[in-house]
Structure 1
Amino acid sequence: MPVTHFRVRWPDASETRCYSPSSVVREHLAPGQRYALDDFLQRAREALGIASERVRAKYGFACSQAMDQLAEIEGIAARFSATAHAQVTVVAFDD
């Protein structure tokens, strides 16, 4: 279960380096791709949820770091919820 880091650029041009305990995030997000804010959130929730469950299957407990990362993503995204046509860009995977 390879740890995967990925960088995202928010609508204000700030960037965040994100963590996933599994490479499954690569199946949900693509480097260079821009996503509508809601679409990005849905993809991040699904990918990090699956990643956390993979940890549970292997070690017997969910990955709290994946859920913490999701909470951080959701918190940052909330700042842009009123921004019309807000988009998030997946800059790169930093493996």
Structure 2
Amino acid sequence: MPEMTFAVRWPDGEISDCYSPSLVIHDHIRTGITYSVADFVERTGDALTEAGERVRARYGFACTSAAATADHIRSRADRFDDDALVHVVAMRPL
């Protein structure tokens, strides 16, 4: 499956590299766009769930990396107000 990473700048200026086991993330977020924390968490959660299900359908097991990325995003997002802004810096295929 095509994998990718996406880099995001959090409201505190920190940049995180995140992993997706599928290019489906492109259907949910875009490079150069800024999202509220709440919207970003929802969009990436949906995308990573979909990506994990694609892995399950193809290989017969869940993608723990997709789940770990979603957990990381939720944990990081908990530090900020829902209306704070997250910027998608880059998206790169692996």
TM-score (norm 2): 0.95
Aligned residues with identical type, % of pairs: 46
Name structure 1 gaps, 5 residues minimum. Answer: none
Structure 1 equivalent of residue 74 of structure 2: 74
Letter in 2 for 1:80: F
Q: Distance in 2 between matches of 1:38 and 1:77?
A: 8
In the alignment, the residues of structure 2 paired with residue 58 and residue 80 of structure 1 have an alpha-carbon distance, to the nearest angstrom, of 36
Equivalent AA in structure 2 for residue 90 of structure 1: V
Q: Does 1:10 align with 2:10?
A: yes
Structure 1's consecutive aligned runs of 4 or more residues displaced over 6 angstroms after TM superposition are: none
Cα drift, residue 94 of structure 1: 2.0
Unpaired segments of 5 or more residues in structure 2? none
1:1-95 to 2 correspondences below 5 Å: 1-81=1-81, 85-95=83-93
Aligned residue pairs total 93
Q: TM-score, normalised by structure 1?
A: 0.94
Q: Aligned to 1:94, what secondary structure does the other structure show? A: strand
CA-atom RMSD, angstroms? 1.0
Tell me the amino acid that sits aligned with residue 31 of structure 1: T
